Structure 1
């Protein structure tokens, strides 16, 4: 056992982060390519959506178990196991696709759902392990910057992957892209083999929750529930995540109501840069000293951005609104994450963060289920010529295709603003940084595992 100096902690974080960045790009390539294959081979939106469902469902179910085991086990080994398991899922997909391309196997889409789900089971361990370890590696004053780098890595994978995968599919095929994903996972595992993570200091709260696995799973929720500020912050972020997921679902049909697919692609790419630039800005700035101001203040920016949907439909206006909306996301997320990391004991962060992740994973499938019916059954008919709101709201926003979706975005923007105002009026959440003690020592006093 030897002391881990701060410069070594920074090196460990950066080496691990580079591995994550490369792995995110590879995972994004294979995810995009597999989803595209399923849609092109079936022509079914339902089968296409099942690729996302098969990825999110295992993580939603396994998150509580993953959090408890992350606190029990060495976190570097947990991440190695997660990468190995994700690689097993990708390798299974490659074997099926390669056999199909060679004419030895008739590939069915449900085969890919199984392999995607297999990889997702292991991936559910990776995020809580690295998030909990970040708090042990970085000084508390730099946690928001470190979290913004994690957002940047994930955002880079989402932005780069569709463009690169589209260019590579015609040249190396689906099997070639899956091999690239395997190579990036190997790189990520190699980066983990170069470092050692500090062991989390033991806390009375963390040791009190030790026991049977079922008891440890419940400990994370009890910890949050007994602290009104953190419980209110969890509810606040849940509303924010659901609104973000709904906006991302509705953006495509809104844009296609007044422009073409080529312009949509440019719009998605340019607006997606908002999230990347927001992450870079947080990395440079580090966020406000009082992190709750960053959480609530930039949530207000997100809400105001959506109110631009009131304006006449135009690519530049929509692109600018979505840019600022996505710019706010990494700032809110990084500041909120830093609050959790400083207020939750290090040996409990796996369990507590798993509860947060489970809440976050609910948003994408819920948004996918409710966005379409809300727009098709209610808002679009209301804003059609002669619709229920055509003579009132329609006089301001206009009527016709897409105007109902625009109104729904305005409603979501209003919900965001109400969420921000009620959060600021809640003393428990507004003062959580002052009322709850910091639980993390600086990395220089931690011990290497």
Structure 2
């Protein structure tokens, strides 16, 4: 009789050298990026005294996600991921370092045009890096540990939302160039971290290649055949729109009620605390709750908390609701992203992630404009009601959908 074969347990993430290098490098780089994201609009406003000019810079940074997500996803699946990440990190470092140079060497309209070009370049390069990094994560981490890894990435997001604005504000107050110098140095640390990783971060590259449009179509065809992933993309896009709306609604309430800016900062910080708590809850709960049920519970929290925005005006309650919604969103994001990374074939990771970003940023681009108009012309309560109706609809559809209710996290 053959002896029973006991499968070997994967090594702990804290002993996974390549994962730690990737995670720690990304942590430092994300903190530097948050400094630039905070300081860049302030820089544009200081130069132009125009909020519209600052808004244009933000839009230019987001525009590549709408224009380039599909081809970028296909190219990331063609190219060596590690090389894409290294080259992208180097280019990001050069772009951020060029911001002080643009301020020192140019002036007037030329200076503003250069800063706008840098904003677009930062968005385009970040798109390529993000697609390659997410695909690489599924290679260096076993499927059974993906929820923990994604939760730890969410911890980075929550921590940066707490620390980044304060650090960026401090550095900008010392000198307006310092946040960008700090970001460039953080990219240098990430570059060294990536160079130390031994893993190739992917299967062997395909020798047979087709036209780029055919490869994009291959990703679309695969996505169309996956009912759960399709539903995840649609739900995630709408929920991310409500998160954007949450920040705009709180800002509108703060202005209407003349709440001090210090208290507004604490309300926003409460969202970061909610993100951290949601990420911490995910790994233990993932082993106890079915994927579809966990997602449904997160949406129920949205449905219960969301209408409170239409009635509360005190900073304490606003902070509590903002933190609760951020917690539910972090919980939802970790479960959804973990499932997507585990299900998508390695050869399609870039294309499917590109499709997801195209859908997400298209919804955010159009939806954010509609949200601003609704808040300005209809007010807070009608806007809250409209978005609440959508949350109720997607929650009901999730529980009515058999394939979503029965979805389980895939095993190794």
TM-score, normalised with respect to structure 1? 0.83
SS at match of 1:174: coil
Matches within 5 A, 1:39-438: 39-99=45-105, 108-171=111-174, 173-201=175-203, 210-258=209-257, 259-283=259-283, 285-286=285-286, 288-377=288-377, 379-380=378-379, 405-433=380-408, 438=410
CA distance in 2, matches of 1:170, 1:25: 17
* Structure 1 position 35 matched with structure 2 position 50: no
Do the aligned partners of 1:147 and 1:337 also contact (CA within 8 Å) in 2? Answer: yes
Partner of 2:5: none
Cα deviation code 1:241-278 (max 9, x no counterpart):
22222222222112221123232122212233211222
Do the aligned partners of 1:16 and 1:191 also contact (CA within 8 Å) in 2? Answer: yes
Do the aligned partners of 1:242 and 1:363 also contact (CA within 8 Å) in 2? Answer: yes
Tell me how many residue pairs correspond in the alignment: 402
Task: Compute the displacement of 1:213 (Å).
Answer: 1.6
Cα deviation code 1:309-358 (max 9, x no counterpart):
24442111111111100011121111111211222111111111111122
Task: Compute the displacement of 1:294 (Å).
Answer: 2.0
CA distance in 2, matches of 1:414, 1:326: 19
Query: Structure 2: which 5+ residue stretches go unaligned?
Result: 1-9
Larger deviation: 310-319 or 330-339? 310-319
CA distance in 2, matches of 1:153, 1:14: 13
CA distance in 2, matches of 1:229, 1:283: 21
**Which of structure 1's runs of 4+ aligned residues deviate more than 6 A?**
104-107, 206-209
Do the aligned partners of 2:270 and 2:322 also contact (CA within 8 Å) in 1? Answer: no
Distance 1:320-1:333 versus aligned 2 partners, 3 A rule: same
Matches within 5 A, 1:4-19: 6=11, 10-19=16-25
CA distance in 2, matches of 1:429, 1:371: 29
Do the aligned partners of 2:78 and 2:206 also contact (CA within 8 Å) in 1? Answer: no
CA distance in 1, matches of 2:269, 2:381: 20
CA distance in 2, matches of 1:201, 1:107: 45
Query: Structure 1: which 5+ residue stretches go unaligned?
Result: 381-404, 443-449
Do the aligned partners of 2:241 and 2:368 also contact (CA within 8 Å) in 1? Answer: no
Distance 1:199-1:99 versus aligned 2 partners, 3 A rule: closer
Aligned-pair Cα RMSD in Å? 2.5
